[in-house]
Structure 1
């Protein structure tokens, strides 16, 4: 049940959000943080850093719920208010990674390392992005990166003088962490790769099991949902395919694979309007997508 913001200060609302986050009530935490933001923005005197932290905390809730697009928005706002805040950089990097925007994720991980070169999560993230970008762009992948901002020495000194960030240690905290642990993320990636190998062999049911295990460990990886949707399509479990595509599109409304596979599922479920709507959304993003144009033509003929 949503709280009444007028009866509570922004700091009390923030604490309520933190308490909800600790118990896995991410939707409730988002409501509390949103009301705390509203209260603080109305205040006559407000510290930009306090507001930046609230946006960063709400971003963590979005990340846990798999809403990577909203996480990116809140982290960006947070970083405008509180430049080079490591938590916001790591959360946005994780969200970008989930959205498969690997270049932007790499930039955020590298920026975080300028603030503190000992952040294990940032080192691991940089390594993952290096591998992914090498596979996508080849040896010259660095040439396609956006500029990496330089963290001023004064900012590094100020941030490093603050108490160690709870999310970067193993200590318990009432402040939201950056998402799945590095151990869970690595295991999830291994399971996804095992699922991919099974798909190549046509063993779709076994692949679904692997993808499902992967999602339990890291619910923020879009490709795991779109890959599992492909398996469901192959097994003619079209309603399940729609659900996975819904989740992927909720995380990234411009995901081509999710839009196309949901359109395929809708066609098989005899939902031509939904199929056409998905294909039109896809073609706004990629007007020359041959597979989408062909499917659209086929559906309109029928």
Structure 2
């Protein structure tokens, strides 16, 4: 069982990472060891579905239903596989059969609604071959769905992707032969909520009955007699309840004693291990907490415990490693918990740890001495005119010491030589953001803006440099040149408009209906200007248009 579970977890991880071949391989090996395990067939069906191998997905789904006819997930798998193969009527029958077993299952309800809609669309539109939907590249709604989904939006810019869609439009029966992974994303978007590839499965747990809304006060329900329990389980339960009371009172030593007695009476229940681990966690005995959780997981696996309890134990191990600042192990166990039972809380914990690990790696990489070495290599290459290679060394230097403004300034110089002015400007902005008194950064920014023909912003940059050093000749010359350029542009209104409208900020202001109305008021009633200038946001926009030369105040 341990080997089977290990293969299953490995397959789940591969499936989550879109490594479908690896997932199929793991599930197949696990099935060879445990051929009666319906969960493994269900998971492999998901992997086949994501690989666009719908016939194989259907075979495994049918095997799942055969092995576990009272498990709703098998019907969901089979129904979606049939839908993707275009066998819509059979898909409807399958979903209906699943709902007879589990009437409140949302996956089955959603799947049934989808395939019924597919059938209705097929009837109205003349069908779509084996796809179960209308694959028509001339249909605006078809392209609208793909263009408005973040997964498929970029695909439409690829001629090979469009070629694949045209093939399917001509011959939908080829759907099972195309191995392009983007086909899965496309069909998921177009069909909607069909459950073709939810990664992980567990044994079926019946859903709780829906709660009735209380319309009037009702007497308290009569306490149902508890089912007869073996004496050892009854004694274990009593000890657990005593342990819970002690835990609430923070009497941890008593809680430990009671939970240990509960384990002695019933060593097959994972709950007692989890509760004991919780006490150790509160006592900050994190190694003991981990050890107890691992024993609990082993016990739970042997006795087919609820997957949520096993997930809970994995989560607690992850939290213990997090407290120990062992981020790598914390990540491993949060991922294991996710493979058992996916919840938003665990996903958040995993994201937090990954973020910490990334930041730790970044900090560990910082080394000012090595940054200086890389900078010198970059300087030598810059002098030799090998600007592209110099950029690589300056970039490495920045990674080694990201708070040194000179490194960004040097890389900006390389970008300027390579005519990558937007990247150079970005580095200059970072440079002066790190050190607003670094005069070389302002001057370099001014020169780049001059080349980009934005003399207004360039003049501002040179002015910043002159505020730091009024006698800096490079800044003085740059400022004068910007003034001459602005005067020259002033003689040509069309040039003013062209330059101004190339500025995204100006474009946004001019598209704003409120600003257009304000400008119209100012033209008809100059006194309105004073009122509008009292609003800081509007004043900033008006000054921007003044600097750009689009408006003038007389």
**Is TM more than 0.5 here?**
no
Structure with more contact order per residue of length (Cα contacts < 8 Å, sep ≥ 6):
1
Give the TM bin, normalised by the shorter chain: 0.3 to 0.5
Rg bigger for which structure? 2
| TM-score after normalising by structure 2 | 0.26
